[in-house]
Amino acid sequence: MFWKKQFPLVIVFVMGVVMAVQYFIPHSASEFVYDNYLKWGITIGIFGHILGYFSFFRVHVMKVKKKTPNWGYSLLAIFCAIGMIIVAALDGRGTGGYYMNIYLYTSAAINATVFSLLAFYISSAAYRAFRARSVQAVALLLAAIIVMLGRVPIGNYVSVWTAIGLPSTYDISQWILNVPNMAAKRAIALGVGLGSLLMTLKLILGIERTYLGNQ
């Protein structure tokens, strides 16, 4: 029980206090701790990748063995993971090689294609759902239209009212981003920052223990 419950709390408390203290004390001992923390952190993370690979293979090999639904995709995932390692090891990772070409002409192309479909979904969703049902919705709608126009060159052409000295869509969109948007973002950032600080203190002091699981 000690190793599962009290020991992690001790590690979190000690490391939390040590790292907080070292940040404010410019001493060689403090720098030694900081430097080693950085080296250890990166090294542990690299071992985490090995663990990730192990977990990946275990999950997919089990799926193939048990012939679970869609096990063919697991076989493909294993084939691709091993295949890319072999290709990189034999042919290198530079431009023009098989490794880079496989990435650019399959993975990158598929990712970009799927993501670009969003433009179509957003257009359809905007047409059906963006309704001026309330005062807030009208404000959102107007701000969205002005910022959308202000972010593209054609917005300058649409702003015919600039002839009588009124600001263009670009100017209005810059104002929206710089004033009301920034005020809201700053308030949210302050709230998140204070929340993070409180959560950190709760973790260090052992008040927040959900990361230990249900034991």
* DSSP codes of every residue in 159-194: -GGGGGTPPPHHHHHHHHHHTHHHHHHHHHHHHHHH
Binding span for other proteins by CB under 8 A among 3-11, 61-69, 78-86, 138-146? 138-146
Shortest Cβ 23–other proteins spacing (Å): 9
Only one of the segments 33-41, 69-77, 81-89, 201-209 lies at the binding site for other proteins (rule: CB under 8 A); that segment is: 33-41
208: buried, middle or exposed (CB in 10 Å: 19+, 13-18, 0-12)? middle
- In the numeric block, which tokens belong to residue 72? 């063919």
CB of 142 to other proteins, least distance (A): 11
Binding residue for other proteins, selected from 7, 73, 130, 161, defined by CB under 8 A: 130
Centre a 10 Å sphere on the Cβ of residue 154 and count the other Cβ atoms it contains.
Answer: 9
Where in 147-206 is the site for other proteins (CB under 8 A)? Answer: 148-149, 151-157, 170, 174, 177-178, 181-182, 185-186, 189
Buried-state track 88-104, b at ≥16 Cβ within 10 A, e below 16:
beeeeeeeeebbbebbe
Regarding 140 and contact with other proteins (CB under 8 A), the answer is: no
Candidates 11-19, 63-71, 79-87, 97-105: pick the segment binding other proteins (CB under 8 A).
97-105
Among 1, 29, 112, 164, binds other proteins (CB under 8 A): 112
Q: Counting beta carbons within 10 angstroms of the beta carbon of residue 177, is it exposed (0 to 12), middle (13 to 18) or buried (19 or more)?
A: middle
For residues 1 and 163, which CB has a smaller minimum distance to other proteins in the complex? 163
Contact 94, 100 (CB under 8 A): yes
- Interface residues for other proteins in 41-70 (CB under 8 A)? 41-42, 45-46, 49
User: CA 28, 33, 39: angle at the middle one, nearest 5?
Assistant: 125
Residue among 171, 123, 120 nearest 147 (CA): 171
Q: Which of 145, 160, 198, 205 binds other proteins (CB under 8 A)?
A: 145
DSSP code of residue 166: P
Residues that bind other proteins (CB under 8 A): 34-35, 38-39, 41-42, 45-46, 49, 93-95, 100, 103-104, 107-109, 111-112, 114-116, 119-120, 122-124, 126-128, 130-132, 141, 144-145, 148-149, 151-157, 170, 174, 177-178, 181-182, 185-186, 189
